[in-house]
Amino acid sequence: MRRLHLSLLATASLLAACSGGSRSSPSTSARAAPLSSNGVNATLRVQSDWKSGYCADVTLENTSAAAVTSWTVVVDLHQSTVTNLWNGTYTTSGSQIAVKPAAGTGTIAAGGSLNAFGFCGNATGSTYLPELVSLVVVGGGGGGTSDFALSANPAGGTLPQGSSGSSTITISRSGYTGSVALTVSGVPAGVTATLDPATTTGTTSTLAVAVSSSAAPGTSTVTVTGTGGGITRAVQLALTVSGNGTSDFALSANPAGGTLPQGASGSSTISIDRSGYTGSVALTVSGAPAGVMATLDPATTTGTTSTLSVAVSSSAAPGTSTLTVTGTGGGITRTAQLALTVSGTQPPTDRVENPFAGASFYVDPQWAAKVRDAATRAGDLSAAVTRVASQPSAFWLDRIAAIDGTSTSLGLAGHLDEALKQQATKGAGPMVVAMIVYDLPDRDCAAFASNGELHTSQNGLARYKAEYIDRIVQVLQSKPAYQQLRIVAVVEPDSLPNIVTNTGLYSTCAAAAPTYREGVAYAVKQLATLSNVYLYLDIAHSAWLGWEHPDHAATVYNEVLTAAGGADLVRGFATNVANYSALQEPFNPYDNQNQYNDLIVNFFEWNRMIDEATYVNAMRARFPNHHFIIDTGRSGWPARAAGLPIENRTHRGNWCNVTGAGIGERPRADPVAGVDAYYWLKPPGESDGTSDSTQTTPDAEGKRYDPMCGANPVERPYATGELIATDALQGAPPAGHWFEEQFFMLVRNATPAL
């Protein structure tokens, strides 16, 4: 998980990075092998990359014996947009730009070279760096001939009777700059196909296809032919007309049912699978029992989905009903059914102010087993490691599959059953079970190490609600005995802090913000219906939401809690989750600013919240009716020489497997005013992210490499071109997996000592 902050230098640094003027960077990198045309080579190099944008330039080298009089370079921007471009003019087609020289700048002498043009771009996704696509030159003499080629995107597809579609025909030119006349053939009866433009000196034309309701179903090969300069080229497209002479549609629901407690709500996605029918479908729902309200949005649609929302009142009678969604359109009627079970109100319990007070704490047996196994290899640390095995820690539900677990991994019910056993062994008093709720769509939007399995663009929010949050609620309600346990749930680390600081810096965070808001509000609303669940929202740490951010954070958090149903639904907030900030920094450079100005500027970066204790006090002032948990699993830093902070890391934003850290305070209740507990929310020994730089594709758990976990220096946040060490211990596995070398380091550096 990425932890970033916004310093006072941010605005100036970003403006400098995008100004088109002088730029500095630790290195440049070619984005592809050079392209060649008529003896001219084109090379693109990225000169500066600050993660949310970049600057690059293109060089042309004429290796032929003839001068070049003009050129066109096509660049694919992928997930980025041009902010400024110099020494050239360009046109845009999809994600690509075609760049021509500015007036009077296109000539390249024989054997000469030219810094053809440069440009800067803003990232709109994770694959944002540009690449060369094609090069066309006028002149040169590399033995090439004038030519062009045609391609189609898409190169075919299926269209139902009565519908239409299009394909982009691209003309890739190699020396030929004249007109290309385009024609289309092979179109079956009942289908019309047109090209616009039909004659062009450009590089694209649009093929529009319209299928009448009487067109016969089947597959045809449509050919687009281009002619010009004595050259004839063609491209073929496979067109399938669907339908068997009739139009139809079908309905389905996901999920096709579920359990909702009295006073709760849920949703299901109704999908309309169309087979030729393109008209409106009117949707209605029936079968809802008394006390249950079911609505469809939209109720009439020409699209393919609608959301069924179900709200259960506190007076609804427990039981199972069948809801029927009916769709009508074009003389067709289709239905989908859902099984709705209304469960009774939870048995009454004595809700306490601080769930940790007077309770024993659950020890995760699987984590403890890893610790005991490590003790056999710990050498002189063996005794200390063995003592760690008896300490409590939270477990993470970081994907849907983690809720139900596997034959080798405890799910939520498995942990609760183990907690009941431990409770019985300790005398049946109250027991705290701490868990981390962590599976928002597009999570960890400012980093790569743990982006997760769900994505908003792939129905992720609906799945998060129905398959993740609702499933957690179902498991917590599944046995009356679970009501004896005090469930502490820390909700979605990093999500709302990213809204506070990063929506203006990362397009991924700006896009994810509405999902984060709605998802967190839904999680709070649903989990708060359970009387033995105590909720704490993640609220980052001192090195992230320090400076002036607490006031903005309070605004964002209050907005989300209002959407959930009120701030009183949560017990409070969790800080330093999975991070390394010192609990109490004994050295305060602000006591002598003249002597320690360098530390104030370069390490604390004018952030007066120098530790978690200071930060929590600042947040308590904004949330006086709430309480806090501080993650101390990795907040222990051995003492250093006078005049140095105990946090011995290069930058307080470094967050991945940080070298030199140690286990901090042991879990305990009521350590200081306003703090419910110190607790190990991130179990010591679980990795923050892989150090394997080749793992750039997300694995089955949605985890991959982030440069902050690598061995190479990275740019200091918001200071383009300035390199800092990551402090990341190498040899690390993916996030959440056991990292024994890191664990031994944390034990050795434990403060206070084990």
Peptide linkage before 130 cis (omega within 30 of 0): no
Strand order in the sheet with 156-160: 156-160, 231-242, 218-228, 180-185, 199-200
Nearest-10 Cα torsion for 671, 674, 677, 680:
-110
Can you tell me the distance from the alpha carbon of 265 to that of 260, in angstroms, rounded to the nearest whole number?
7
Backbone phi, psi, residue 43, to 5°: -130, 130
Question: Which of 364, 439, 494, 538 is flagged as catalytic?
Answer: 494
SS3 assignment, position 502? coil
Q: At what angle do helices 470-477 and 507-527 cross, to 10 degrees?
A: 20
Q: Which residue has the tokens 């299009």?
A: 166
CA 267 from centroid of its chain's CA atoms = 23
Can you tell me the distance from the alpha carbon of 642 to that of 596, in angstroms, rounded to the nearest whole number?
12
Q: What count of other Cβ atoms lies within 10 Å of the Cβ of residue 77?
A: 21
Collect all residues with Cβ–Cβ distance below 8 Å to 141 and sequence separation of at least 6: 38, 39, 64, 65, 66, 110
> Is 417 noted as a catalytic residue in this protein?
no
Q: What count of other Cβ atoms lies within 10 Å of the Cβ of residue 447?
A: 28
The DSSP call for residue 398 is -
> Is 670 noted as a catalytic residue in this protein?
no
Which residues, listed in sequence order, are joined to residue 395 by a DSSP beta bridge? 435
Can you tell me the distance from the alpha carbon of 285 to that of 253, in angstroms, rounded to the nearest whole number?
12
Looking at residue 717, its amino acid is: P
Collect all residues with Cβ–Cβ distance below 8 Å to 514 and sequence separation of at least 6: none
Backbone phi, psi, residue 531, to 5°: -70, -20
SS3 assignment, position 374? helix
Burial of 676 (0-12, 13-18, 19+ CB in 10 A): buried
Which helix (H) or strand (E) covers residue 92, if one does? Answer: strand 88-93
Tokens of 334: 């289709």
Q: Which of 516, 552, 507, 514 lies closest to 537 in space, CA to CA?
A: 516
SS3 assignment, position 33? coil
Burial of 400 (0-12, 13-18, 19+ CB in 10 A): middle
Strands 292-297 and 305-312: antiparallel
Can you tell me the distance from the alpha carbon of 640 to that of 648, in angstroms, rounded to the nearest whole number?
8
Tokens of 599: 């530390």
Peptide linkage before 197 cis (omega within 30 of 0): yes
Task: Answer for the pair 424, 430: CB distance below 8 angstroms, yes or no.
Answer: no
Can you tell me the distance from the alpha carbon of 707 to that of 715, in angstroms, rounded to the nearest whole number?
10
Could you give the count of Cα atoms lying within 13 Å of 219 in the half-sphere of its Cβ? 6
- CA 597, 598, 599, 600 dihedral sign is positive
End-to-end CA distance of the chain: 27
Q: Which of 474, 567, 453, 461 lies closest to 522 in space, CA to CA?
A: 461
Distances from the Cα of 743 to the Cα of 438, 637, 709, angstroms: 23, 14, 16
Can you tell me the distance from the alpha carbon of 435 to that of 490, in angstroms, rounded to the nearest whole number?
6
Peptide linkage before 752 cis (omega within 30 of 0): yes
Question: Which of 398, 676, 688, 727 is flagged as catalytic?
Answer: 688
Q: Which of 607, 640, 629 lies closest to 675 in space, CA to CA?
A: 629
Indicate which residues carry an active-site annotation. 494, 688
